[in-house]
Amino acid sequence: MPPGPSAPCDLETGADKLQRLHALWQQYGDCVRVPAASRAAATWLVTDPALIRRILVSNHRNYVKGVGIERVRVLLGDGLMAGEGAHWRGQRRLLQPAFQQAALGAYLRGFHTQALALSARWQQAARAGERVNVTAEVSTSTLTAVLQALFSEDLDDLRDAAGQPAFALVSEQSQRDLQFAVRFRALGAQIRELAARRRRERRFPPDLLSHCLRARRGASGPMDDKALVDEVLTLIVAGHETTAASLNWVWYLLATHPQVCARLRVDLRDLDLDTVPGREQLARWQPVARIVKEALRLYPPGWLYTRRAVHDDTLGGYHLPAGSDVFICSWLLHRHPDHWDAPEAFRPERFTAEAEAGRARYSYLPFSAGPRHCIGEGFAMAEMLIHVAQVARHLRPLAPTDAAPALEAEVNLRPRAPLWLRFEVCDD
């Protein structure tokens, strides 16, 4: 049996989950067995890249999604995030083409427009000497970006009974409780109606909804309305909250590291920021990418991947019984001293091509790995790069006077309270 405490530990509830996982890892190492408080099977905390590879990649068929997935399923049904087995495989195959590099070009104009609008608002606030509620602003902006990618020309028509934008509650209400789930699932009716209208009118503008409507799986035809609604709701939540959380951390880190921000602004002078970038151009925005990647290292929004073993397995030479829960905590992995010097330091230069090539695979997993890795990685990176470049081009965040934001480690890792920052316009 791997090392670990003999008494049961609750790893699933409470505001200090991260600290408890951290303490177990510090005390027992990279493969820890923890008797569960509420189940017969134990939980294994795994922070060794080679073992993580086995769970997520080489023996992935033996692992299904684990602790917490029931709650996600209430919200997102059997969409890609929570689906399993043959249904998940078929849906992933249908959706994958819409997220391949070649397809991402379709979304870049929307990202650019969102970034310009947000940058203009922040410049106005900076000129007026006002603080910016970064959390609220990036939430609205990333929600709009994903909604545009999904519904394009029909977005403005999607309104609730009171005439308000249908999906506004996603960024207005931050709690992901049952009450939210009921209101959110009710939006499925709007998606069904819009889908029916597009089919009737044979109108398929180039967006993600059209992709879902037109995708066919061999002889089994198009996806049914239940699957369609589950996928659209999944993309809204998965495509918005993670990106929003990441941008909070990017701005917090730039505000607290003025020398990194100054360097970024110098690097930005070499980039063409006046036009909507193409994919080839974005590939050259390495200085911006390094900052985003380092923020994702320190504060990975998907901070915990939970899995459950279907059959027995052998992990690190230990026998792992079927039914065991496995926790992979990217927040710990990204602080592993075997892979990261001074893990707590914000150092974007960790992500130069040479530095990346010299690091163990599976030691950096903000988007997970294997068949269930994030389908939206390219989408999210493009969106964040454009956002950061367009804002940093004109604005410098000032060091906050408040204490560092407390972490909320629930479905995503985000600041517990909204992050407010002051910016300075600096068009040099």
Determine which residue in the list 47, 242, 248, 324 makes contact with ligand HEM, applying CB under 6 A: 242
* Shortest reach from residue 423's CB to ligand HEM, in Å: 22
Backbone angles phi, psi at 60, to 5 degrees: -60, -30
- Is residue 77 a contact point for ligand HEM (CB under 6 A)? no
Which residues are CB-neighbours of 387 under 8 A, at least 6 positions away? 111, 114, 115, 118, 138, 141, 247
Q: Look up residue 119 and give its DSSP letter.
A: H
The residue assigned the tokens 């230069």 is 349
- H-state helical runs in 96-133: 101-127
> Which segments of 120-234 are extended strands (E)?
132-133
Q: Look up residue 36 and give its DSSP letter.
A: B
Determine which residue in the list 34, 115, 295, 375 makes contact with ligand HEM, applying CB under 6 A: 375
Compute the distance between CA of residue 15 and CA of residue 163 in angstroms, rounded to an integer. Answer: 37
Q: Give the interface segment with ligand HEM, choosing from 189-197, 233-241, 266-274, 313-321 (CB under 6 A).
A: 233-241
Residue closer to ligand HEM by CB (options 41, 64) is 64
- Is residue 209 a contact point for ligand HEM (CB under 6 A)? no
Residue closer to ligand HEM by CB (options 148, 390) is 148
* Shortest reach from residue 294's CB to ligand HEM, in Å: 13
Determine which residue in the list 315, 379, 385, 405 makes contact with ligand HEM, applying CB under 6 A: 379
Q: 135 to 194, contacts with ligand HEM by CB under 6 A?
A: 146
> How many residues bind ligand HEM, per CB under 6 A?
23
- Is residue 413 a contact point for ligand HEM (CB under 6 A)? no
Compute the distance between CA of residue 197 and CA of residue 204 in angstroms, rounded to an integer. Answer: 10
The residue assigned the tokens 């360097």 is 263
- Is residue 80 a contact point for ligand HEM (CB under 6 A)? yes
CB atoms within 10 A of CB 185: 16
* Shortest reach from residue 235's CB to ligand HEM, in Å: 5
3-state secondary structure (DSSP) of residue 170: helix
Q: 302 to 341, contacts with ligand HEM by CB under 6 A?
A: 302, 305
Determine which residue in the list 55, 72, 81, 138 makes contact with ligand HEM, applying CB under 6 A: 81
3-state secondary structure (DSSP) of residue 131: coil
The answer to whether 421 touches 251, Cβ cutoff 8 Å, is: yes
- Summarize as ranges the residues that interact with ligand HEM (CB under 6 A): 80-81, 92, 146, 234-235, 238-239, 242-243, 246, 301-302, 305, 366-368, 372, 374-376, 379-380
